[in-house]
Amino acid sequence: MNNSERMVVITGGTKGIGKALVHRFASEGWPVATCSRNDNDLAELRKEIHEQHNVLIHTFSADLSNKEGVKTFVEFIRMTAKPVEILINNSGVFTPGLICEEPDGALEKMIDTNLYSAYHLSRALIPQMKHDRRGHIFNLCSVASLKAYPNGGSYSISKFALYGLSQALREELKEFGIRVTSILAGAVKTPSWDGVDIPEDRFMKPEDIAETIYTSYRLSERSVIEEVVLRPQLGDI
């Protein structure tokens, strides 16, 4: 099947891992649909993709931390009239803090953004994948999904929950030919770490995560990488 016949949906595609993913799939000729809350960032991304890859990119301004935002993004995706081959649930927010000391609302904010966005978007797009009996869902979990760490607070809670969602979807969808992969990544050099006094070479590159996801998709449909753990070479930060 020609790449141009189907589409990749990448949430949070204007920065960090999301942006690296958009570039990686666009470089292979894939039409991409992505979203962000910032119109200026989306405009800049469209310009980059057109200049560097000359492929179709659909961008939409939406806040996926609320259900209505997910609904409008889904409607936009359907308007493209291309079936979704790959869904990458990348949208997320990280706010460090201790559970007993973080501000009121921290848990709700991170659950809404890190978990519910993936839950509602997956539920909306899966029926088409089931009908086609094909597709691949990637959930950007974290090493924080595996083990809590100091100052991880509600972020760890939300990522544990996303990992649980990812595992549940894997069991539910395997018989329909839909693959599900959990990406359990350590520290990646993204805007979340801006202002932190840590050498850049202690972080993984966003492009490394994007390459891992692209390569995982490229396996034959008879195989699936259920989960992959990536960490900086010198260990967690």
Active site includes 145? yes
Give the Cα separation of 140 and 69 in Å (integer): 19
Active site includes 155? yes
Give the Cα separation of 117 and 110 in Å (integer): 10
Extended strands (E) in the chain: 7-11, 32-36, 57-61, 84-89, 136-140, 179-185, 227-230
Give the Cα separation of 98 and 46 in Å (integer): 38
Structure tokens at 177: 């030919």
Which is the catalytic residue, given 116, 122, 142, 155? Answer: 155
Q: Are 29 and 55 in contact (CB under 8 A)?
A: yes
Which is the catalytic residue, given 142, 159, 189, 214? Answer: 159
Which is the catalytic residue, given 65, 91, 142, 145? Answer: 145
Give the Cα separation of 203 and 69 in Å (integer): 32
Give the Cα separation of 22 and 15 in Å (integer): 10
Q: Are 59 and 36 in contact (CB under 8 A)?
A: yes
Structure tokens at 38: 């910032």
The catalytic site residues sit at: 145, 155, 159
